[in-house]
Structure 1
Amino acid sequence: MSDTVFILGAGFSWNAGIPLLGGFVEKMWELAVRGKSDKPLDPEDHQALKDAMVIRAELDSYHGRAQFDDRNIEDILSILSFNVLAGHRKDTQKFTSMTNAIARTIEICCGVKHPGLDPRSGRVVKEGPELYRAFWKSLFSAVDKGHRLPTILTFNYDLVLERSLLQVLVGTEYGSKVHLPFEKIAVNYHYEPIKPQRYCVKYVKYDMWSAQPPTSTLGTVLEEIPYDSEGTFSVIDLIKLHGSLNFPFPTKRKTTLAMHWNMAAALAEPFILPPVFNKLSTDAASSMWSAALSRLRAAKNVVVVGYSLPQTDIYMQYFLKAALGPNLNLNKLVVFDPVLHTKSESCDQMKHRYESCFSPQLRGRIEFSPSTNPPSLLQGSAEAFVRTLETNPETLLF
């Protein structure tokens, strides 16, 4: 089990083009009205977004009696999910329509692309910011120096991590000069319907037709192997606490996806957890939260990136208390957020939210303003986090 846990919030995926919670509804509205992003929307996607805006407009009648923000996607989902408890089929349909529209918005906006493992294509894909490839390369470099891979907890539905991982492991990043520090790797979501995805790293020659004259270079591909294969694996624990665009819905029949499941592909109707108190309503969800709890209780370093611990997320505040309260070996908690590098009321409020989760003797172990070179970087940003991981991994990884 890793001694380090990364907690990645919406701010980590912002550079991929995915809107933050505060601007999510506006982005959905813009796509629904314009019918295009950088290109015209698929008709089904466009209709899904228009349907979501109709549902949002219907909630306007609540304002006469209830206080909620219809420009906040979490508020909208929470109201809809509680309506489902009333047992009306239309309310279930509305909730499903809204979650599907959220999934489509994320996928339309996401600038990190990868088709998944297709041995026939032989393509090297590097579509999207270098930031996310640098994240994985920095982790693998740290492993080569003796560190263990951290457990990654994320609240994000998107597939930025999966696609950037494949961009690094299927291509020419490793091979001719630098080799990977492992021969086999596994991705474990701790999500019951999906078995750990296991791969063997193969070194192959890539033809570089764009070079003059054309040449070839050594690179890597991943060969999928059965989840029960023996051997030593470097394991990436990727625990997506609120669900994911690639998660199939759990069924009453206990079936699991093993081989030939494309972790880079968004599903038409993915499993997404609503932001209400009971995250343990299904066995599939409880297995993820249980794994996260055990990892945090054993962690020595916890690093939070792009998550403000909002006052409305009471569940997460108590989850952190329950997870880190019994942890007698916690060394430090590092928080990356640009707001924490400002002299503002928002900065003071965020610090107070984090500090209020811990006893006075532990508050001194919280690092709110980790500095990163060069100073021109936006301090506290995802870029600053990855830069620190590149240059000073020992400050983050225990």
Structure 2
Amino acid sequence: MDRIVYVLGAGFSAPLGLPVMSNFLFKSKDMYLSDPEKYEHFDKVFEKIQEISVAKNYYKTNLFNIEEILSILEMSEFLDGLRLKDEFVRYIRDVIDFYTPRLGEIHRPGNWDDFVFGRGENNKLFGFFVANLFGIKFREHDDRQRGKRAFFADISRNRNKYDVISLNYDLVLEGYSDFINENYQVDRPLSFIKSQYKEGDDSPHLAKLHGCVEDGNIVPPTWAKGRDSGIVPAWKAAFSILEGASHLRFIGYSLPDADSYIKYLLKSAVLKSQNLKSIDVICIDSDGSTKKRYDDFFDFPFYRFKNCSVLDYLKGLLETMPSKVAQPFKEVDAALIERGHEKFMKS
């Protein structure tokens, strides 16, 4: 059984409307203008950003990029022996929560297998990706004698093991797993293992290196990410995940130069890796710089880079999923991600 690890960057969630570092400030201002009273606490954040604009008089400074803004602020706080103010953590949490999509109520027409995750193309793409991680097969049992329809989400046996390392705060993955729990009969509730690494558990692990909006442990995306002890368990889990990986896949992550801590995590984990077979990267690269960073970092004969969007990748996976088995049983097997992945990388 292979163990496949996905490393998800901000580009993974961006198609759903989640902000990335470059547009975080703009999106937060849109929120504020939509309801100034509700988001009154944003005023302090915007005032602080205005205060540091003096840096532009001396240095090239991008005050539209939230990572650069928070890095400047946190450096000053760090030198004063303080932590970044709570209002900035609350600000980040509120913006992420606001733009996280909510899955609507599901309706099941006769061709329910076209609407496993309700309506909306993105819901279908991201929903099936999450279902793949758990190895789900959806099926309908039409009990015509009783005039009832029942819908099940069965976990496939003898499948590959999937784990996720995320650099995002959002609850996109958890939202789709919760949707399955709420709308299908399951063998057991689907849940990512997030607290610690558990060897032998067939549920996917999810290590969030910057914290999560769910538990309020948000580590600002700055140079000082490693100073927060609250994320140490997630980093330990990520290390264990990486050292056991058979296949490593980066999705929507550009490997920015500032993220040296990620590079050292990968390098330290590979020291104990016994079975790493491939490294694949799926990311938009408009000017060739992203591929160059990966090319300069990886020295492995089974590394591949694919310049494409996250949506293109998810569509490629979905196209290989068989469906529409004859009534009275109708099935949609989402546990076939490997065939779609390999076909996409070779296309």
TM-score category (smaller protein)? 0.7 to 0.9
TM-score after normalising by structure 2: 0.74
Superposition RMSD in Å: 3.1
Partner SS, residue 63 of structure 1: helix
Do structure 1's residue 287 and structure 2's residue 233 form an aligned pair?
yes
Shift of 1:112: 2.8
Structure 1, unaligned runs of 5 or more: 116-123, 197-231, 248-269, 370-378
1:394 equivalent in structure 2: 338
Do structure 1's residue 189 and structure 2's residue 129 form an aligned pair?
no
Partner SS, residue 235 of structure 1: coil
Partner SS, residue 312 of structure 1: coil
Q: Deviations over 1:111-143 (max 9, x none)?
A: 23589xxxxxxxx99587412222222332486
2:173 equivalent in structure 1: 161
1:74 equivalent in structure 2: 67
2:53 equivalent in structure 1: 60
Shift of 1:42: 7.2
Q: Deviations over 1:169-227 (max 9, x none)?
A: 211xx45xxxx5x43544321369xxx9xxxxxxxxxxxxxxxxxxxxxxxxxxxxxxx
Partner SS, residue 22 of structure 2: helix
Which residue, out of 303, 321, 334, partners 1:366?
A: 303
Shift of 1:104: 1.2
1:133 equivalent in structure 2: 127
| 1:101 aligned partner, one-letter code | Y
Counting only pairs closer than 5 Å after superposition, residues 375-394 of structure 1 correspond to structure 2 as 380-390=308-318, 391=320, 393-394=337-338
2:331 equivalent in structure 1: none
Distance of aligned partners of 1:61 and 1:113 in 2 relative to their CA distance in 1, 3 Å threshold: farther
How far apart, CA to CA, are the structure 2 residues paired with 1:388 and 1:82? 43
Distance of aligned partners of 1:146 and 1:96 in 2 relative to their CA distance in 1, 3 Å threshold: same
The answer to whether the Cα contact below 8 Å between 1:80 and 1:95 also exists between their aligned partners in 2 is: no
1:26 equivalent in structure 2: 26
The answer to whether the Cα contact below 8 Å between 1:138 and 1:389 also exists between their aligned partners in 2 is: no
How far apart, CA to CA, are the structure 2 residues paired with 1:95 and 1:191? 28
Do structure 1's residue 102 and structure 2's residue 102 form an aligned pair?
no
The answer to whether the Cα contact below 8 Å between 1:114 and 1:125 also exists between their aligned partners in 2 is: no
Distance of aligned partners of 1:234 and 1:183 in 2 relative to their CA distance in 1, 3 Å threshold: farther
Structure 2, unaligned runs of 5 or more: 106-115, 138-154, 321-335, 343-347
TM-score after normalising by structure 1: 0.65
Which residue, out of 186, 203, 212, partners 1:235?
A: 203
Size of the alignment, in residue pairs?
294
1:170 equivalent in structure 2: 182
The answer to whether the Cα contact below 8 Å between 2:177 and 2:190 also exists between their aligned partners in 1 is: no
How far apart, CA to CA, are the structure 1 residues paired with 2:314 and 2:261? 28
Q: Deviations over 1:365-391 (max 9, x none)?
A: 12212xxxxxxxxx7322233334442
Shift of 1:281: 3.0
Which residue, out of 203, 213, 217, partners 1:245?
A: 213
How far apart, CA to CA, are the structure 1 residues paired with 2:36 and 2:46? 17
Partner SS, residue 43 of structure 1: coil
The answer to whether the Cα contact below 8 Å between 1:303 and 1:335 also exists between their aligned partners in 2 is: yes
| 1:50 aligned partner, one-letter code | D
Q: Deviations over 1:62-81 (max 9, x none)?
A: 22344432111111111222
Partner SS, residue 334 of structure 1: strand
Partner SS, residue 5 of structure 2: strand
Q: Work out the percentage of aligned pairs sharing the same amino acid.
A: 26
2:17 equivalent in structure 1: 17
The answer to whether the Cα contact below 8 Å between 2:49 and 2:63 also exists between their aligned partners in 1 is: yes
Do structure 1's residue 357 and structure 2's residue 259 form an aligned pair?
no
Shift of 1:297: 1.7
How far apart, CA to CA, are the structure 2 residues paired with 1:73 and 1:22? 7
How far apart, CA to CA, are the structure 2 residues paired with 1:42 and 1:165? 33
How far apart, CA to CA, are the structure 2 residues paired with 1:366 and 1:48? 46
Q: Deviations over 1:313-342 (max 9, x none)?
A: 222233222233553421111111132xxx
How far apart, CA to CA, are the structure 1 residues paired with 2:245 and 2:202? 18
